[in-house]
Amino acid sequence: MTIWRKKEDSGGYLAQPYGSLAINANSPNGERAFKFIQWVLSETTQADQFKVNFVPVHNQALQARIQAATPLGSRAQQSIAQYQELLNNDFDIQTYLDGKFSNEIFWPLWQEYLNDKITVEEFSKQLSDKTDIYLQEL
């Protein structure tokens, strides 16, 4: 998951990766690592608040956690409903992004920087400008 924050001082955006899992392609334990990631992403694991301490990315697990929390009373239910609405909006944005930003904006610029075609300052400026346009078009 990536959290986007608008920087008020510059008007730009800050992307902060949060809660990532990955497998190194050269790992001799790739199969075991992949099984672990499958386990972490499973509905059963994500629905169990004692196994994982994060908001589930598995929608049915998220709904199960929300349903388990609703007997708290009307005020708590309202807070949970507001939180669920925020999460649903966040998931919609994440689903919409679908890697397009990385593939079409970030990586091409990064390659230009790595190949010494642009400076780090040019990379930062172009990335900020293109990110602003991209987020405005969402």
pLDDT in tens, 4-59: 566 667 767 665 555 667 777 888 888 888 888 888 888 888 888 777 667 777 88
Residue 123 belongs to domain spanning: 99-138
Residue 106: inside a domain, yes or no?
yes
Residue whose structure tokens are 């992403």: 41
The answer to whether residue 64 is domain-embedded is: no
> Do the domain assignments include residue 127?
yes
Residue 68 counted as domain residue:
no
Q: Would the pTM of this model clear 0.95, i.e. be above it?
A: no
The whole-chain average pLDDT of the chain stands at: 75
Task: Specify if 128 maps to a domain.
Answer: yes
Per-residue model confidence (pLDDT) at position 117? 93
pLDDT tens digits, one per residue of 94-131:
544 556 777 888 889 888 888 889 888 888 889 888 88
Residue 110 domain-assigned (yes or no): yes
User: What pLDDT is attached to residue 17?
Assistant: 58
pLDDT tens column, 60-77: 888 887 777 655 556 666
- Residues making up the chain, counted from first to last: 138
Q: Are 69 and 76 in contact (CB under 8 A)?
A: yes
Surface-to-core class of residue 89, CB atoms within 10 Å of its CB (0-12 exposed, 13-18 middle, 19+ buried)? exposed
CA atoms of 51 and 48, how far apart (whole Å)? 6
Q: Give the other-Cβ count within 10 Å of 35's Cβ.
A: 11
